[in-house]
Amino acid sequence: MWRLLLSALVLAGCVQLPPSPQDIQAKKFESLPDKAVIYIVRSKVDSVFGGTLWLGDRAQITTYAGTYYRWEVTPGSHRIAAYAPSNASVTVQTSAGRVYFVQHTVFGDLRAGPLVSFLEQIHERDGRVLVAQAQLL
């Protein structure tokens, strides 16, 4: 009896929720005429650990495997920095009406936890594929 209940709970945890209206809208990859858009994305094939990022000097987010965030910014230079355990960063030079993609990767193990993270601006084609497979934070 307990095995059946445990199996049902495990299977229920594997069911993917339908995308939210915000997720559907963000995956249209629409640009804005007076702003730039930066997608920060983590692959589904990444560590289980969260990775905290600073977006500029004000906003802070935590990414997880298979998630993404859409950041709408004024045109110009924007720094994205990993907050621990390593000091990774990338600066994206943006123009109004354009869309950019940054991949965030976190490496670690269950014994030591997150060990290092990387940030890399990636090609739009690759970014769209990763975001299409991910869920909005």
pLDDT tens-digit map of 74-108: 999 999 999 766 789 999 999 999 999 999 999 88
Query: What CATH number has the domain bearing residue 98?
Result: 2.60.40
| 9 found inside a domain | no
Average pLDDT estimate for 113-137: 94
What's the domain range around 66?
20-136
Of 50 and 5, the structure prediction assigns the larger pLDDT to 50
Considering only 58-62, 65-69, 76-80, which range has the smallest mean pLDDT? Answer: 58-62
- Please name every residue paired with 65 in a beta bridge, in sequence order, or none if there are none: none
Residue 3 counted as domain residue = no
Residue 15 lies in a domain: no
Is 8 contained in some domain? Answer: no
Q: Is residue 6 part of a domain?
A: no
Q: Is residue 79 part of a domain?
A: yes
13: exposed, middle or buried (Cβ count in 10 Å: 0-12, 13-18, 19+): exposed
Is the CB of residue 51 less than 8 Å from the CB of residue 114? Answer: yes
With tokens 């229920």, the residue in question is 12
Q: Is residue 125 part of a domain?
A: yes
> How many domains in the chain?
1
Structure-model confidence comparison of residues 10 and 60, the more confident one: 60
Q: What confidence tier does 112 reach under pLDDT thresholds 50, 70, 90?
A: confident
Q: Residue 7: what pLDDT?
A: 47
Residue 7 lies in a domain: no
